[in-house]
């Protein structure tokens, strides 16, 4: 394929962050610390902002920059994971199986001159969930999963669970609740391709009172996820302050910054319902480290992950920009 784009010739190895408001992300503070940790201080991070549902040409320009400039090493993609792949599929030499099934990518990297795309979310949300629950959790508890939101990260969590080889690591029931029917239809289509024994329910709803009712019906120890972006991307929470979390359950907010109303609602019941309350910090760490390791080709050992987590925690909550 010939390059028809005006790609820049970078003078320093560059890792791109393709998002919407990239300058505001904590990664801008964390990345230089991590490069020091892995001995690659020569690598810099650069934000590449695109509008939500941007013109296909703009996604192609970003991908061409990485494909054709030797020192543009790769990228982590947020928000545009589906739109970018739709616009640029022909530019990739390889897509991993999760990218093929989800039709989205969160990682762009190069290996032996080939441009590769990976959908890392099922791996990274999975690593985060595995750190929250123990082995055979569902077998021992009969817990269900209720996910508010049926977007990329919620589907990734279901994919991770569906791929668990042991029955006890898969819930009997996983329920998606989503505002728009379109996302639910998309999730249903994708999940129909899987050979899974998880009963997946699809509920179209945006009324927090109805979400309270769904939550009240869950068996003890169930997991309730806020994957709507409410409390960070948009104000509010998918549930009301009267919503009751499952006894001995787990409340998992996918974000770690913002108003985090859902997280606060859960924290208010931490003692009374014996809840485990998690935010999205670990998800952030796994999400970024997996992609950086893919792009820079290093082995992410548990020891190195621990070092990187420690470094990141030193700037957690420090304002960016």
Ligand X SMILES: NC(=O)c1ccc[n+]([C@@H]2O[C@H](COP(=O)([O-])OP(=O)(O)OC[C@H]3O[C@@H](n4cnc5c(N)ncnc54)[C@H](OP(=O)(O)O)[C@@H]3O)[C@@H](O)[C@H]2O)c1
Residues that bind ligand X (CB under 6 A): 148-154, 177-180, 183, 206, 227-230, 232-233, 238, 254-256, 280, 283-284, 287
- Residue found by looking up tokens 């929250």 in the block: 132
Would you say 67 or 83 has its CB closer to ligand X? Answer: 83
Residue number of the CB atom closest to ligand X: 151
Would you say 177 or 250 has its CB closer to ligand X? Answer: 177
User: To the nearest whole angstrom, how small is the minimum distance from the Cβ of residue 151 to ligand X?
Assistant: 2
Sign of the dihedral through C-alpha 216, 218, 219, 224: negative
Helix (H) / strand (E) containing 49: strand 44-49
Would you say 243 or 280 has its CB closer to ligand X? Answer: 280
Secondary structure (3-state) at 129 = helix
Would you say 74 or 152 has its CB closer to ligand X? Answer: 152
Assess contact for 114 and 94: CB atoms under 8 A.
yes
User: To the nearest whole angstrom, how small is the minimum distance from the Cβ of residue 230 to ligand X?
Assistant: 5
State the Cα–Cα distance between residues 51 and 6, nearest whole angstrom.
Answer: 20
User: To the nearest whole angstrom, how small is the minimum distance from the Cβ of residue 49 to ligand X?
Assistant: 15
Kindly report the backbone phi and psi dihedral angles of residue 69, in degrees, each rounded to the nearest multiple of 5, phi listed first. -95, 120
State the Cα–Cα distance between residues 95 and 80, nearest whole angstrom.
Answer: 16
Would you say 68 or 148 has its CB closer to ligand X? Answer: 148
User: To the nearest whole angstrom, how small is the minimum distance from the Cβ of residue 37 to ligand X?
Assistant: 19
Would you say 64 or 278 has its CB closer to ligand X? Answer: 278
Tokens of 216: 């009240």
- Residue found by looking up tokens 């050979």 in the block: 195
User: To the nearest whole angstrom, how small is the minimum distance from the Cβ of residue 90 to ligand X?
Assistant: 24
* Helices and strands in the chain, H and E counts: 12, 12
Name the pairing type of β-strands 250-253 and 14-19: unpaired
User: To the nearest whole angstrom, how small is the minimum distance from the Cβ of residue 283 to ligand X?
Assistant: 4
């Amino acid at each position: 394929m010939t390059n028809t784009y005006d790609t820049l010739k970078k003078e320093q190895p560059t890792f791109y962050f393709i998002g919407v408001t990239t300058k505001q992300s904590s990664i801008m503070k964390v990345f230089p610390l991590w490069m020091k940790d892995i001995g690659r201080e020569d690598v810099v991070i650069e934000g590449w902002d695109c509008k939500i549902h941007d013109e296909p040409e703009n996604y192609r320009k970003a991908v061409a920059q990485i494909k054709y400039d030797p020192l543009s090493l790769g990228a982590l993609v947020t928000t545009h994971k589906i739109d970018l792949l739709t616009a640029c599929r022909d530019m990739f030499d390889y897509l991993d199986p999760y990218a093929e099934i989800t039709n989205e990518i969160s990682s762009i990297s190069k290996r032996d001159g080939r441009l590769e795309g990976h959908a890392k979310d099922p791996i990274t949300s999975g690593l985060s969930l595995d750190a929250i629950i123990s082995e055979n959790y569902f077998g021992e508890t009969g817990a269900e999963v209720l996910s508010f939101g049926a977007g990329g990260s919620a589907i990734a969590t279901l994919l991770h669970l569906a791929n668990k080889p042991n029955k006890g690591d898969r819930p009997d029931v996983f329920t998606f609740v989503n505002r728009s029917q379109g996302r639910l239809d998309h999730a249903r289509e994708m999940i129909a391709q899987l050979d899974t024994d998880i009963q997946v329910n699809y509920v179209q709803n945006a009324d927090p009172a109805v979400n309270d009712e769904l939550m009240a019906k869950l068996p003890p120890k169930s997991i309730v996820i806020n994957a709507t972006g409410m409390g960070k991307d948009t104000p509010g929470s998918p549930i009301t302050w009267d919503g009751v979390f499952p006894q001995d359950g787990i409340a998992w907010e996918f974000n770690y910054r913002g108003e985090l109303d859902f997280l606060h609602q859960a924290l208010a019941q931490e003692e009374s319902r014996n809840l485990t309350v998690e935010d999205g910090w670990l998800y952030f760490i796994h999400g970024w480290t997996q992609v950086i390791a893919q792009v820079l080709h290093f082995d992410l050992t548990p020891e190195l992950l621990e070092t990187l987590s420690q470094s990141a925690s030193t700037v957690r909550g420090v304002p960016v920009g």
